[in-house]
Every structure is written in C-alpha cells, then in structure tokens.
Structure 1
Amino acid sequence: MASRATAVATEVDYYELLSVLPTASEAEIRRAYRKTSLLYHPDKVKPTPETLDKFQLLQTALNILTDADEKRKYDQTREARHRRLAETAALDSRRRQMVEDLEKREAASVNGGVKNGVKRTWTDRELEIKRIQEENRKRREDAMAKKVGEAQARAEAAQAKEEAQPSESIDRSVKVRWVKEGEGLEIDQEALEDNFAVGDVENVVLLKDKKRRIEGRGDRKVLLGTAVIVFRTLAIAKKVVSQGPWENIESVEWAAGNANEVPDGG
C-alpha cells in the first residue's frame, strides 16, 4: 500500500532510517528493513506507542522505497528538502561572516582606529556608514531573536499538546490471527483492509507466521498468520471488535491487552 503511505507527511529520511544509501538495491533495502524492524517488532519487543509507531514508519519506508514510482517521487522531494537545508546553511554562514566583520571593525574603532601605529581620522561619511551598519546588525539580531523565540514557543506548545493528549495508537490497535489453510491462505494486508469501511483502517502490519496448537485441532500444530490492525479512532476499534466482521479469523485481541478488556476512552 505505497500510495497510502505517501499520504503521511513526514520529514523522516527513509534511507537514514534503514541505514542504507540512496543507491541501495531493492534487495539491500529489504535486508536492512528486516534487520531494523526486529528492534521494534511487536512479537520481539513489548508493544508501546513509540515502538508501534516506529514499526509502522519502517513499513512505510519499505513500501515507498521498493515501489519504483513512489521511490522516484520520494527521492525528488528528499533532494529538494536537502537543497533547501544547504541554502539555509549557506545563508547562515554568510550572516556569521558579516557579524564577524562588523565586530572586527568595532574592535578597531574602540582602539581609536590605530593601524600600524598611526591613528587615523574618521570622516563624517565613514562614521555614518558605520552607524547604518550597526543599526542593520541590531535589526538582524532582533529579527533572529524573534524567530528563535517564536520557534521555541511553537515547540513548547506542541509538547504541551502532546503531553495533554498522549498517543493512543496502541489502544486503537487490534491483533488478529488466522489459520493459514484453505481460505486463510488468501488473507493478506489488502484482504484485511477490505473487510472494513473505507477510512476506518489507518494501517495494517503483518507479523511473522507461527506454528501453534489451537483448540479443536488436537496436538497438531497449525501455521497461524498474525496482523496488527490500527484503526483510525478508538471508537471504530471498539465497534469492530464487538461486531466484526471476522470471517476466517481464529482469534481477536487488543494489541495492548485481552479482547474482553475494552480500553478506556473513545
């Protein structure tokens, strides 16, 4: 579902996320994904909002970087972002150089304009130029301080909002399992999404298949497919857990607890 992944606005560098070069082959990208995803896989570590979000981000990176059209669009966007950052860095460098030059001139004036042991006389024109330069420097510093203050205020507001409304992605997540036999062999990410109304499902994460014994099958172990379905809201998640549809699904449980324990909120 690469097209769905691209709908999520992000400044994350997917190549850095997977620790691969932009020239990496599809096979190298997939190997890097498998290695990195183990650090956040719900079957390998205890699911938390942070690890689940990181695992979903890795899924998005894999989907985009292994789809030729989506990768081309992403590379163009990434290149433009890097170009803007380089231009900003160059502008900041020029500004720093200008400040340094002005400070050197100020130091010379404090010393009475002495050069090679000879005291120079400042003309009215030179003094006016210096005054204008100093005013421009002060305006630039005030503007920069204002921008820094505004950025800091936005960051603090965003942090306060996040703390007031913590992520509920783990509460919106449902883990389902199905027997990979017969019709169960047809169940995949797209099939799971198609069970629900358009817009209800935010993401589907397929986990590693496992062999287990299940009730009614004797001692024989069967291969079970597992997926975590992240719904758009907690209310939708509660509704589908209680109502379904769950055709060909062996078990349904909350990613954060037992299926009979409905999370608070909604």
Structure 2
Amino acid sequence: MAPAGNSDMATDYYELLDIPATATESEIRRAYRKTSLLYHPDKVKPTPENLDKFQLLQTAINILTDPTEKTKYDQTRAAKLRRQAETAALDSRTRKMKEDLERREAEAKGGAPGSVNGTKRSWTDRELEIKRIQEENRTKLEAFRQKKVQEAEARAHAEEKPSEDIDRSIKVCWVKEGEGLDIDQDALEENFPSGDVEDIIFLKDKKRRLEGRDKKILLGTAVIVFRSLAIAKKAVAQGTWEGIESLDWAAGKEPGTT
C-alpha cells in the first residue's frame, strides 16, 4: 500500500472519484468500483493514459479506505488547500494595494483616470461600454475569488486582526544605475531579519529630477509590506540604507497622525 506521505498531491483523490471529502467508506468503495470500470485494462483499451489513471485509482482506494493513511492524506490535503486559499487572498490584497498606490501617485501629480498629460480626453460610447463591461467582469471575478478565500482569511485573522497593509508599508526609491540596477526583492529583504517582510510590491520606474542632477534620472520604486506596524516604524526610524535614495510611508504619512 502506498503511504499517504508519498501520495501524489497533484491529484485530489476525492475529485478523482467525484465524491466529497466527507464521503463514508461505503460511498468511497462504490465510487471506486464505478470509476475503475472506465479505465480497467479488461474493460477499455490499455493505453498509457488509462493505465496511469487506473493506477491512481488503486492508490486512492488503498489510502482512503485505510483509517490511518486517510487521516494523514486528509491533513496534507487540507494544508494544501489552505495554502492555496491564503496565497489567493494575498495576491488579491497585493493587486488592490498596487492599484491604490499608483492611483494616489497619479492624483498627487494632478492626473486622473482618462487623462493624458493632465488633459482630459473624451471617450466614445463604444469605449465607455467596453470599459463598463470590463469593470463589471472584474467585479464579478473578484467577488468569486473572495467567496473562495473568505473562510481561509477568517481563520488567518481569528486570533489577531492585522493593521491595514498600507499602514504597515513603506515606499523606497533608488537610482537605477550602477549597483542600483541589481536591486531586486532579495536585495531589499536582506536588509531586515527573516520574517519581518510580508511582501514587496514593485511599482513602475519613473524619471524624476533629483537635487544636484542636471537631468532627470530613472528611479526604481517598491513598497515593502512589513509583518506589523511596529516593525515598519522601526524600519523608518533607522533611515535609508546603502543604495536607497529615499524612504517614506506608503500612505504618505505615519499611521495615526493627522
């Protein structure tokens, strides 16, 4: 019998048998008998694909009908599903935060959605309809994703609700020349103890004029999301480090100040 620890977690045995994870042993065996007929070498052409599927079914029935192995498999499967849900939730928050930061920068420069170099442009009815449909689809997709991950998020925040991502984030800028060309996520993370940084979001490179420079230069910008507000405040208090031109709160001011 193949132990659960060595099972192929790329294959969900419950999905393979088309049964819920709460199925009883008799339901599992009944589903196995029904499904195995579709791939049994005596019933269908023994192609490599059919043989592989039939072998997976053997592994599935062995594991799911053995109480000890089933418990191990269920625990491993639950952990995998939880990680997937937490990753999806983080990706969603990261995308929203990046859009919010870029919108704030555009507004600070006097720009606005639908403008080019500060000059408002007109939209055709067709373009407006396309944008409306795109926004509607994005809203529906986001709602679907949130529904899938809300249970995982609830568990993650059950003990302690973290401060808003943007409140515990700082924005850093560096000149994209010389050693600045080598600054990436690893280079930024190595400035802090392991575990202090939750995420790093890279924004679009922009040309700006710095004091002492005759021409505008290209600056790289990133937002570092720390595990807690206290850690973020400590990072700001320490000031800039080697290779970094400037750092500031991502929200534009220290959380809690007016």
Give the structure-2-normalised TM-score: 0.43
Greater Cα radius of gyration, structure 1 or 2: 1
